[in-house]
Amino acid sequence: MTHRRDPDPGAVLDLHRVTFRREGTEILHGIDLRVDPGERWALLGPNGAGKSTILGFCGAVEHPTSGTVDVLGRRIGRVELQALRREIGHVNPRHAVRSAITAREVVLTGLTGTLETVMRWAPTSAQIDRADAMLDLVGLEDRREVVWPTMSQGERGRALIARALVSDPRLLLLDEPTTGLDVAAREQFLETLDDLSEHHPELTTVLVTHHLEELPASTTHAVVIAHGAIVSAGAASEVVTTEVISRAFEHPIEVTREGGRWGARAKRRERAAS
């Protein structure tokens, strides 16, 4: 008999004994994970480890095969998901805008929950002010009228953070957000995330990546997964280590940390003496 657990209203995310199967194959095996308000989590692991599936639970877009998933104190399977998703911001670099809408209009689509501007919908002056404030926050105060096709990848990334924040979410999900950015744009993006931790300390974030150099210095916690199971979870300083990362990626990786940022490189194999 399975012990019934009620949702914990104090947790932002609470996954308990979660499994997930797709087409008869079990992808996740008994995941337990709790994320509390104001924590800044990194979700790490090799390709195919199950990171995207876990992020789908966090974003209230996937249901577990077994176990329970509570998001913002509400249980997946018991609540209306569309309403829950309005409290979750999502930054996806594959955001498929096709028209020449401005940075301000991109941010305003965060209020309508659409990719493009909605016909016959007009934002209020307060909503426009809110969108402009979010653009200011991410350093795009001089780029409000620039159109999406002419924006750099770095500007797009920061505009998507502003879009995710415009609805004042309690949870912010970042799905490999530095994909496609050059080094300078990546560093500007990560600085924006670090600034966000100062301006919005109550906001909880989960960032998915498999590159340690893409972790902002403000990261507080990390969970490392491999083959659909958790290898380690907890304080980032205790989880993002040579031993844990080498075990998860099944290769000897030397993890370093300098100035609050992580790095990784393969350990050199000792050559046999001739």
Q: Where are the domains of the chain?
A: 13-87+169-266, 94-163
Task: Determine contact, residues 73/8, Cβ cutoff 8 Å.
Answer: yes
Q: What is the DSSP letter of 219?
A: -
Question: Alpha-carbon dihedral of residues 10, 11, 17, 23, nearest 10 degrees?
Answer: 130
Q: Rounded to an integer, what distance in angstroms lies between the CA atom of residue 144 and that of residue 240? A: 37
How confident is residue 93, by pLDDT bands cut at 50, 70 and 90? Answer: confident
User: How many residues can be counted in the chain?
Assistant: 274
Classify burial at 221, counting beta carbons within 10 Å of its beta carbon; exposed 0-12, middle 13-18, buried 19 or more: buried
> For residues 95 and 153, what is the distance between their CA atoms, to the nearest angstrom?
11
Contact criterion met (CB below 8 Å) for 216 and 207: yes
- At a CB cut-off of 8 Å and minimum separation 6, what does 59 contact? 85, 88, 90, 173
Question: Using CA atoms in the order 71, 75, 78, 84, what is the torsion angle rounded to 10 degrees?
Answer: -10
The 8 Å CB, 24+ separation contacts for 237-241 are 240/42, 240/44, 240/212, 240/215
Express each pLDDT in 216-268 by its tens digit: 999 999 999 999 999 999 999 999 999 999 999 999 999 999 999 999 999 87
Read off the pLDDT band of 271 (50, 70, 90): low
User: Per mean pLDDT, which of 6-15, 39-48, 177-186, 193-202 is the most reliable?
Assistant: 39-48
For residues 55-73, average pLDDT? 93
Model confidence band, residue 269 (pLDDT cutoffs 50, 70, 90): low
User: Model's pTM, two decimal places?
Assistant: 0.89
Q: And the tokens for 56?
A: 């789908």
Tens digit of each residue's pLDDT (9 = 90 or more) over 104-126? 999 999 988 888 888 888 889 99
Q: Distance between CA atoms of 84 and 167, rounded to whole angstroms?
A: 12
For domain 13-87+169-266, which architecture applies?
Answer: 3-Layer(aba) Sandwich (3.40)
pLDDT winner (highest mean) among 13-17, 59-63, 82-86? 13-17
Residue 204, strand partner residues: 171
